Structure 1
Amino acid sequence: MPILSKNIGVAAAFLATLCWGVAIVMSKGALNDFPPITLLFVQLLSSVIFLWCVVLLRRRARPGLSEFTKSCWLGLLEPFLTYLLVLTGMTYSGASEASLLQSLESIMIILIAALMFREFPTRKFIFYSVLVLLGLSTVLGAEGHLIAKEWRGTILITLGMLAAAFYVVLSSRIARKYDVFYIVASQQTLALFVIALILPFEWTGYSGDVSVPLPSITWGAWSLALLSGVIQYALAFVFYMVALRHISAGLAGVYLNFVPLVGIAGAFIFLDEKLSLLQLGGASLVLIALVLISVSAQTNATPHKKVNGFV
């Protein structure tokens, strides 16, 4: 695999991570005004409109019906199931706990890729990944928040990360074939349709009375929800699909470990949450470990290997 192609993949993975990290802070803020399913519907609606506008402007060739079906159904894994579980879980857990649990996705991706496609990680890759998790544990657990206060949030977010890991591994097999904007738009349209079917149940609750005060939500909250949808679902997913065209699913998954760091930085900037020296040390460990993973992947790559830390 050419060095330029790898660099493109790594850059796209970082951009996806940046979008998802920023969106964590935005979504957590939006949950103060929206219940989780309603927020997911609003976010997906803005993302789908944005993506289909781009698809129409690009005028690329469309896949056939069978190919469309193969790629479209993955939208049920992510964003539908993943973010339905994550946003619901975030109503029970704090932002730090949610960020830490999202870092589990990269480990799940490695395990699933190894089981399904025999993309086995090297010992160096495993060692550096352990350093990443150690650094994240230091960053997010320094103030005693390593264990979730609410087990329901922990279980829901962990299951959401499992669905996301399956999505990444399976998407890596189709990301190289079709236009990424069309793939993501199709998947999210299906997810939006399913969310629309279950949305009335959240609005009415079990009593049959409307329990979501939509008219009282401010324009600022609506703007936050709509913008976070474009960032979290449209831009982030497109960047990640581009990354999967150039690097393996396992290596792309490793860069997801930056999501909690970006989330913490966003909380520091926008929510005035201060980082301790111990947390800064953990963040530095994560950065160093990820750089070592990238350098090791490029050094060990040969035409006879699957490269990117996998043999």
Structure 2
Amino acid sequence: MSTGTDRRALAAAGVTVLLWSSAFVAIRGAGEYFSPGALALGRLASGAIVLMAIVLIRRAGVPPKAAWPGIAVSGVFWFGVYMVALNWGEQQVDAGTAAMVVNVGPVLIALLSGWLLKEGFPPKLMAGMAVSFAGAVVVGISMSSGGKATILGVGLCLVAAATWAVGVVAQKPALRHASALQVTAYGCLIGAVACLPFAGQLVGEVAKAPLSATLNMVYLGVFPTAVAFTTWAYALARTTAGKMGATTYVVPAVVVVMSWIALREVPGWLTLAGGVLCLAGVAVSRAKKRETITVDATV
């Protein structure tokens, strides 16, 4: 990879991180007026309209047959199920906590790659998964206050992490046959179609919601979806899934700052400790093996 390409991929990943971080905060705001499925459909429909317009303007065309399996799987799981689960989860937990739990995703990406791509299951991967799972349990206990609602929220965030991992593993091969724009646009469109059962809810809730909430939903579709998913796919096509997953480690910290500024909500110390464990598990699983350097003392 050339230095210029590497820098462009890094810049694209940076745009993705910032916009995805803002999405956790925007979801909390819009979630007061929209149900999880309706918000997912409104977001995906907004993103699909923008992306398909760009496809038509740029005459990007339809992806080749070889790309469609990956596009379809990522569209249903990542664009569809992921967004519904995340929206629902964020109705139970704060934005920072959701971001920390969802960021278990890179560990799951490594696990799926080891299974589907026959890359094996290194000891560090298994240790990292154990640490991250312990962190998720700590977060769940700290947020539950003896009830089931927020434990459900943490579980839904874990579902979001799992479907994100499925989407990335499916999307990587598709990018060998189609452009980042094509993979993102048609994946978003498939996700919107998968969420059509929520159309009735969306229509009714848009009529009652304030304009600010609807604009929040449109923002989610245009920027964290249309723009950020495209910059993600652009960078993913130029590096490995593991390295791209590593770029998201900074998301929880950014989300905590954004949610403190915009929503005045900061996770408690025990919740933060659990989130740190989640991230520590990811770091352990992705740590590189140190090379041992031997020196020959003979002359």
Shift of 1:29: 0.5
Task: Say if 1:51 and 1:157 are closer, same or farther in 2 by CA, change over 3 A.
Answer: same
Q: Secondary structure at the match of 2:214?
A: helix
Shift of 1:192: 0.9
Gaps (5+ residues) in structure 2?
Answer: 290-299
Note if contact 1:132-1:257 (Cα within 8 Å) is conserved in structure 2.
no
Q: Residue 17 of structure 1 aligns with which residue?
A: 17
- Note the 1:256-271 alignment, pairs <5 A: 256-271=248-263
Note if contact 1:97-1:148 (Cα within 8 Å) is conserved in structure 2.
no
Shift of 1:189: 1.0
What are the superposed Cα offsets for residues 33-56 of structure 1, whole Å, 9 maximum, x if unpaired? 111111111111110111011112
What are the superposed Cα offsets for residues 157-208 of structure 1, whole Å, 9 maximum, x if unpaired? 211211110110121112232121121111111111121134337889xxxx
Note if contact 2:140-2:150 (Cα within 8 Å) is conserved in structure 1.
no
Note if contact 1:12-1:242 (Cα within 8 Å) is conserved in structure 2.
yes
CA distance in 1, matches of 2:224, 2:148: 24
Q: Residue 302 of structure 1 aligns with which residue?
A: none
What are the superposed Cα offsets for residues 72-108 of structure 1, whole Å, 9 maximum, x if unpaired? 3420011101111111222222323312211111111
- Note the 1:175-214 alignment, pairs <5 A: 175-200=175-200, 213-214=205-206
| Alignment counterpart, residue 234 of structure 1, candidates 204, 226, 231 | 226
CA distance in 1, matches of 2:4, 2:278: 24
- Note the 1:139-154 alignment, pairs <5 A: 150-154=150-154
Count residues in correspondence: 288
CA distance in 2, matches of 1:5, 1:285: 34
- Percent identity of paired positions between Structure 1 and Structure 2: 21
Q: Residue 207 of structure 1 aligns with which residue?
A: none
- TM-score of the aligned structures, taking structure 2 as reference length: 0.77
RMSD between superposed Cα atoms in Å:
4.0
Task: Say if 1:234 and 1:120 are closer, same or farther in 2 by CA, change over 3 A.
Answer: farther
CA distance in 1, matches of 2:250, 2:268: 18
What are the superposed Cα offsets for residues 203-259 of structure 1, whole Å, 9 maximum, x if unpaired? 89xxxxxxxx53221111111110122122111111110111111111111222222
| Alignment counterpart, residue 255 of structure 1, candidates 247, 254, 258 | 247
Q: Residue 296 of structure 2 aligns with which residue?
A: none
- TM-score of the aligned structures, taking structure 1 as reference length: 0.74
Note if contact 1:10-1:247 (Cα within 8 Å) is conserved in structure 2.
no
Matched to 1:239, the amino acid is T
Q: Secondary structure at the match of 1:226?
A: helix
Note if contact 2:107-2:128 (Cα within 8 Å) is conserved in structure 1.
no
Query: Mean alpha-carbon deviation: is it higher for 245-254 or for 4-13?
Result: 4-13
Task: Say if 1:249 and 1:155 are closer, same or farther in 2 by CA, change over 3 A.
Answer: same
Note if contact 1:139-1:279 (Cα within 8 Å) is conserved in structure 2.
yes
Note if contact 2:100-2:278 (Cα within 8 Å) is conserved in structure 1.
no
Q: Residue 210 of structure 1 aligns with which residue?
A: none
Q: Residue 117 of structure 2 aligns with which residue?
A: 117
Shift of 1:143: 9.9
